[in-house]
């Protein structure tokens, strides 16, 4: 498995090998040893999630309070997505930076996001299935969102595909409002969390 850091520290792209023959194919989208070699610690999985989305559906931008935060490892089991990472860590050298990666079931590429990073995706095909490995369980009071349509972020959603949002995501504040309200995680708290994970 190939592991490549993205331009936002704490975000990684993982590319597994797919083995195909006359029966079909086999892929291991998450591999513990490859993850540990890249990140320097093991991924603790407290919860797994799966979403099924119609074409155009946007989920996010979501993030959790740090500590403890919620790291995510995501891959597409069916269909395709435009996956987006947003650096929401106040004080980070790349605060506000956005990076997008296209993921699909054919390649089984995966994205890892460390605690404090914002995450969103747009489904590019009907019945798109996304699997999530989450480092902590869902805690409603600690979960927050940023508007995926914030013009200041200008997230790179697919051209010609109308974004379909939940009421909650549509009502989420833009980045500048969340920053002014003190609702974003800090670079210091996220670095402390990483040091804790690495022992």
User: 132 catalytic, yes or no?
Assistant: yes
Question: What 3-state class would DSSP assign to 161?
Answer: coil
Q: Residue 196: beta bridge partners?
A: none
Distance CA 80, CA 160 (A): 15
Q: Residue 57: beta bridge partners?
A: 164
Active-site residue, from 73, 119, 132, 138: 132
- Cβ–Cβ under 8 Å, residues 14 and 34: yes
Active-site residue, from 22, 62, 75, 144: 62
Distance CA 75, CA 25 (A): 16
User: 75 catalytic, yes or no?
Assistant: no
Distance CA 77, CA 51 (A): 10
Distance CA 92, CA 161 (A): 32
Distance CA 84, CA 61 (A): 8
In this structure, what token pair is assigned to residue 8?
């936002």
Catalytic residues: 62, 132
């Amino acid at each position: 498995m190939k592991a490549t850091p993205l331009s936002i520290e704490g975000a990684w792209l993982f590319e597994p090998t797919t083995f195909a023959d006359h029966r079909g194919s086999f892929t291991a989208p998450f591999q513990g040893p490859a993850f540990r070699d890249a990140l320097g610690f093991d991924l603790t999985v407290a919860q797994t999630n799966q979403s099924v989305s119609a074409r155009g559906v946007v989920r996010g931008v979501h993030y959790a309070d740090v500590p403890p935060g919620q790291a995510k490892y995501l891959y597409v089991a069916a269909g395709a997505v435009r996956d987006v990472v947003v650096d929401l860590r106040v004080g980070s050298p790349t605060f506000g930076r956005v990076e997008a990666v296209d993921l699909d079931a054919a390649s089984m590429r995966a994205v890892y996001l460390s605690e404090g990073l914002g995450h969103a995706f747009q489904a590019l095909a009907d019945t798109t299935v996304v699997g999530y490995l989450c480092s902590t369980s869902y805690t409603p009071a600690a979960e927050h969102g940023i508007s995926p349509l914030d013009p200041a972020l200008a997230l790179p959603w697919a051209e010609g595909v109308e974004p379909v949002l939940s009421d909650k995501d549509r009502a989420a504040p833009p980045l500048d409002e969340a920053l002014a309200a003190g609702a974003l995680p800090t670079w210091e708290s996220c670095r402390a969390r990483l040091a804790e994970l690495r022992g």
